[in-house]
Structure 1
Amino acid sequence: MHLDLLDILRCPFCGGRLNLVTSLFHRTSDDTISDGVIGCECCVFPVVDGIPVMHLQGSAVAAREAIEAEAPDRALLAMVGAENDKAAEAFTEAAASATSTYRDIVNSLGDGFEGGYFLYRFSDPTYVVADAVVRAVAGTVLAGGGRALDVCGGSGHLTRALVPLSTPAPVMADLFYTKLWLARRYTAPGAVPVCCDANIPLPFARGAFDYAMCSDALMFVWMKRLVVGEMLRAVDGSPRATVLVNHAHNQLVWSPSHGNTLTVSGYRQLFQPAVPRAFGESALLEEIVQSGRIDLARVDSEAQLSQDAAFTLIGTKVEEVFRSHAVPPPQQYSGEWSINPLYQVDRDAGQLRLTFRFPSDDYEYEFGACRRYLPQSATVDAAALAALQAGTPQPALDDLIRRRVIVSLPQRYV
């Protein structure tokens, strides 16, 4: 945790500024805090392996007590949720290895950690739409500079798109410490992780950001009015203040991971007094597949929206957002071009023969629309892929990149 984060970090309960409690155990170097305790007038919070934990749930209390006992390694295990010595040993061994992959860490956490489908995240339809919308909206709002906040950012898959757009670095906030830890190490290096609970006030100063978003998560937050209000507070005062909600499930249309949903009217009311524009995501996906564009100038009728399974809502006065945007090809970001993990790869001389397969029936049921752009089979020239991975553009592979047969994965992802 860089010390300048304290400029915008606030206690979620009293709103007070926070400082390092130097009378307690702490590990610092230059202008960073690796482990320690930060406090305001009413509360103290642990900083665990460089990530501030801004809530008072049991794991946070256990982590703080471990740090006070000068046992930061035990604090990390408390936040990761290692339930026994075997689990703690598996995670510690995987975390200590410089060659461990994202998949290795996920596997070390056991079956209870919801990481399986994230391995295929970069080509599922939800992500394809959200990534296009985020790059269009944040790319417009932050074009002249400005800071982004990703609320309920999970493992950082969409935060990754904000890293090259946000100045200073984007903040990713989530209740699940382990996801933030994974994001910092693999998915969104360069972003600033903060562990906090969206069901209480966000631990940030008013107006600390210019752009705030919550993607594929609002229907799983009980205090929806609070979290949207808090995002509006976080961007209050910015001339380019923008709040984006991606993939909010429609109460009127069932989906496999339905959550606690609202109608489009209900979601709009969360933004009051702002009036967001709402877009049906099936239409956005159709535009991406058919034309490589998203039209944020169009107005979906209430009848159309009522039949869509999920919505995107954009609250901003930045009118340049509401136009047709070309969807740029997927960027490399920080990572490497790889064959989409949804494909089985067979080598045939200098060719890679790819065969699509769903990892599970559940995945097919929820994300089957990926077949709109992922072919059943494909052939990739191995030498061309190697050249692309070495940094040389390969026009012959552009269509496979556009269709996400070849994807930009974080380093050591699978």
Structure 2
Amino acid sequence: MTTVFPVAGLTLTSPTTGLVLAPDGPGSLTDGEERWPVVAGIPFLRTGRDELRLAALDAVDRGDEPLALALLLRDQDDWARIAPPSLAQAAALVGSIDRLTLRDAMAALNFGPVAHYFAHRWSAPTFLSALGLLESHWTDPPLVLEIACGIGQILRDLDRRGTAVAGIDVVFAKLWLARTFLLPDAPLVCADVTAGIPIALPEGTTILCHDAFYFMPEQERIALSLMEAVGAAGSILIGHAHNIRFEHGIAGRPRTPEEYAALFPGCRLHDDAELAAGAAPSRTADELAVVEAVSLVWSGSRTVPIDLRTPKPGTPLRPNPLLERLGDRLRPAWPTPAFAREYAAATYLDAPVPPGGLDEAVAGTAAVDDLARRRILLDLPERW
């Protein structure tokens, strides 16, 4: 029996052999050669972590899933600047998670500056540019798969609109936060896409990678595997890929617009900053020579209109916690100077206090929806 996710057609494959994975007990998968743990409903298919994989499997086989979870929560990516919590601290987090907020959990996981990024991502220009990229090239796909999905904020927006979604990230802890606070039912997989996409995708799938591709090693290899995975009927959207010509001080492996375009022959390019305001026209590589970040789409599919900035009627909304009232205006209270520099383009957050003040509201009226589109009101998770 193959392991099929809640979304029809999503079958897992081994990242090392390419063979279909089948259940091998309540907390593991096998292709007949190797076993992989499944903890908190998240398959751990990250390659290059054999010692960790075997330790987690041993804990699962002994019926100690809390220990397996604590072990996996300590695994980091290559760009982490802060040491992970100790095993005892990770175990304490597992035992107390039902009483914590998302921000509490990120602090316990030693996310550092990344915690600010995730806590306030809903109103960042880079989040809005992801919505603009999707709006510009929406094909009504049977599935949106986001690689390097983080804690699943973009996927949550799509999921709440009825789109089938799935996420892959190399950091198990981020997926666990997504499962706990944002996406309780969506299929999530911990894997390194350098080894390929370990999911058999339905025809017409859209693969999204936003504000992450420039971090990835072996980008040529990854680009080829993405194009192979979606085929002629699917789409690839790469958003907010940093331009190496721009002095940004960002880590990773950024490229020029021409170099990004060469990875995906025939793709269309965008200025990522233009997408933050909504659907935007394609640009040439020469036009993008000095912009901070580019986005691209590789697709031959017909697009259909969609509005991803207006929440569904009836959605509960809360005041953006990043904003503070100064007299008759709202202005962002940036958590750090570095955060302020990175998101200085979010001038839409400097706004007059709405008539009657700013309180919780429900989407569905022109005034409320306008505040939501400008990120003055946000659809935040319950335990933000």
Tell me the TM-score normalized by structure 2.
Answer: 0.86
The 5 A counterparts of 1:5-404 are: 5=5, 8-22=11-25, 26=26, 36-56=27-47, 57=49, 58-81=51-74, 83-84=85-86, 86-97=88-99, 100-110=100-110, 112=112, 114-137=114-137, 140-142=138-140, 146-164=142-160, 169-205=164-200, 210-236=205-231, 239=233, 241-272=234-265, 275-285=266-276, 288=277, 293-295=278-280, 298-320=281-303, 329-331=309-311, 336-344=316-324, 354-371=330-347, 373-375=348-350, 378-379=353-354, 381=356, 385-386=359-360, 388-389=361-362, 393-404=364-375
CA contact (8 A) 1:356 1:377 kept: no
Shift of 1:230: 2.0
CA contact (8 A) 2:43 2:190 kept: yes
CA contact (8 A) 1:38 1:47 kept: yes
Do the aligned partners of residues 222 and 276 (structure 1) sit closer, same or farther apart at CA in structure 2, a change above 3 Å counting? same
Q: Distance in 2 between matches of 1:376 and 1:86?
A: 45
Q: Distance in 2 between matches of 1:135 and 1:7?
A: 24
SS at match of 2:12: coil
The Cα RMSD (Å) is: 2.8
SS at match of 1:409: coil
Tell me the TM-score normalized by structure 1.
Answer: 0.80
Q: Distance in 1 between matches of 2:66 and 2:149?
A: 25
Task: Identify which of structures 1 and 2 has the higher relative contact order when contacts are C-alpha pairs closer than 8 Å and 6+ apart.
Answer: 2
**Cα deviations across residues 218-241 of structure 1 (Å, max 9, x unaligned)?**
01101212222222222125x3x1
AA matched with 2:299: T
Instruction: Write out the 4+ residue segments of structure 1 that deviate beyond 6 Å after TM superposition.
Output: none
Q: Distance in 2 between matches of 1:42 and 1:278?
A: 42
Shift of 1:281: 1.6
Do the aligned partners of residues 72 and 64 (structure 1) sit closer, same or farther apart at CA in structure 2, a change above 3 Å counting? same
Provide structure 1 residue ranges, at least 5 long, that are not aligned to the other structure.
27-35
Q: Distance in 1 between matches of 2:15 and 2:365?
A: 49
2:79 maps to none
AA matched with 2:176: W
CA contact (8 A) 2:239 2:294 kept: yes
Provide structure 2 residue ranges, at least 5 long, that are not aligned to the other structure.
75-83
2:376 maps to 405
